Amino acid sequence: MRRFTIAAAVLLAATTPLAAQVGYAPEASPYREITAPTSFTATFGRFSKNGGQYGVGANNGFTYGARYAFRANKFIEISLAGTRADLERNVVDPFVPTANRTTGPFRESMIIGEAGLTANLTGGKTWNRLAPFVGIGAGAAFANRLSSAAVDTSGFRAGTRFVFTPHVGTRVFLSQRLHLRLEAKAVFWKLTYPLSFSSVPPSEPFAVPVITNNTFREWTTNAVLQVGIGYALGIL
């Protein structure tokens, strides 16, 4: 028994240096702890061109906004964001000759507010200064009443819309407090067309109306490519 104990002690002593070599030394590891519980990010983006089947939905322009986020745990981040989108859209007038039916584009400004839930794929750490993520968001978009509505006599209004915004991207940490945020986002919202789109111009009683299939609602998707500069409001 004594010989077995001595042999085990020698074996343990021999393997201890090898065990110490497994993995990375702390200073050489590609992983770094994310120590900020909250952050504030200023964002700038590009909104893609998709105004729906008739081109009357807001699209094609630039976005400016701000995002506040806090970590619920190492993997989950909760956020609130507000964005101004300076976009454009066409106006379709069903009451004029078909050759002149579509005009524009006209300016259409939108304010988008949303709450988001983001999963950090590397948990509470960065990998080589990168922290990739996926997430979802939901909120509402509000149209500026002083934009294209003044020139649209069809009855179509952007109004207030529910928005759904899945997103994917990564943060690039320049320091513990400062990071870049690179993000691709899809903005889903529904367009509701007026009943006037089923009418024909009085001067062309046999013309084809704008809508021929009695479908007055349409979901559209716009891609938004967004970059932001974020600053940590606190360090754990």
Is 52 part of a structural domain of the chain? Answer: yes
Q: Which pLDDT score is estimated for 61?
A: 97
Q: How many domains does the chain have?
A: 1
* Position 21 in a domain: no
Residue 35: CATH number of its domain: 2.40.160.20
Please indicate, yes or no, if residue 36 is contained in any of the structural domains: yes
What is the identity of the amino acid at 199? S
pLDDT at 24: 54
Q: How far apart are CA 47 and CA 59, in angstroms?
A: 6
pLDDT score at 23: 53
pLDDT value at residue 147 = 62
CA distances from 156 to 162, 170, 197, 234 (A): 17, 38, 9, 46
Cα 40 from Cα 81, distance rounded (Å) = 10
Q: In this structure, are residues 76 and 116 in contact, taking their beta carbons and an 8 Å threshold?
A: no
7 in a structural domain: no
- Please check whether residue 3 lies inside any domain of the structure: no
Does residue 40 lie in a domain region? yes
Looking at residue 160, what DSSP letter applies? E
What per-residue confidence (pLDDT) applies to 14?
43
The pLDDT score that the predictor gives to residue 158 is 81
CB 139 within 8 A of CB 147: no
Tokens of 126: 């960065």
Residue 19's pLDDT is: 42
156, 97, 123: which is closest to 32 by C-alpha? 123
Q: Residue 171 sits in which domain range?
A: 31-232
φ, ψ dihedrals at 202, nearest 5°:
-60, -30
Is residue 66 situated within a structural domain? yes
pLDDT at res. 9: 46
Does residue 9 fall inside a structural domain?
no
Report the alpha-carbon distance of residue 149 to residue 96 in Å, rounded: 17
Spell out, as residue ranges, where the chain has pLDDT lower than 50: 1, 3-22
